[in-house]
Structure 1
Amino acid sequence: MTATPKNPLHGITLEVMLVELQARYGWEGLAQRIDIRCFKSEPSIKSSLTFLRRTPWAREKVEALFVRSHGRG
């Protein structure tokens, strides 16, 4: 029987990740770390969530930043 690694994002929604990252870095800081327009042009939680839910590569970058910034994984 092989053990599977724990998922560091288990139970954390995309909205929670985004709210915490935005509080930590601000929109400008997020845009510097992840070069996507939804963080640069009239950013909001709602518009960013819409984009991230439809764009897997961008969501992966947000998830990776969240894991790194919270020392998970």
Structure 2
Amino acid sequence: MSDKQPENPLHGVTLERLLEELVAEYGWAELGRIIDIRCFNNDPSIKSSLTFLRKTPWARKQVEELYLVKKED
């Protein structure tokens, strides 16, 4: 079985790296406006956001989709 995922654009990108790039691009305030979740709007940090996103599939999906849109630009 191969661990390669040529069709997966997120292959090899950690959630932490993805989030750090989004924060660098948009900042916490804009990121919280785009995706309205508490961990982006109230005392945001990478650590608290990672904890939330790892436990909340719908929020993680929104963050991943935003990352992919950003990468297309």
Q: State the TM-score, normalizing by the size of structure 1.
A: 0.89
What is the match of residue 42 of structure 1?
A: 43
What is the match of residue 12 of structure 2?
A: 11
Question: Percent of pairs identical after alignment?
Answer: 61
TM-superposition CA deviations, 1:21-57 (whole Å, max 9, x none)? 0000000010011010000000000000000000000
**Counterpart of 1:62 in structure 2: which amino acid?**
V
Q: After the TM superposition, list the runs of 4 or more consecutive aligned residues in structure 1 that deviate by more than 6 angstroms.
A: none
Q: State the TM-score, normalizing by the size of structure 2.
A: 0.89
What is the match of residue 60 of structure 2?
A: 59
Q: Structure 1: which 5+ runs fail to align?
A: none
> 1:5, CA displacement in angstroms?
6.9
Tell me how large the CA RMSD over aligned residues is: 1.6
What is the match of residue 68 of structure 1?
A: 69
Q: Structure 2: which 5+ runs fail to align?
A: none
Q: Which has the higher contact order (CA 8 A, sep 6+)?
A: 1
Matches within 5 A, 1:26-41: 26-41=27-42
Count how many residue pairs are aligned between Structure 1 and Structure 2: 69
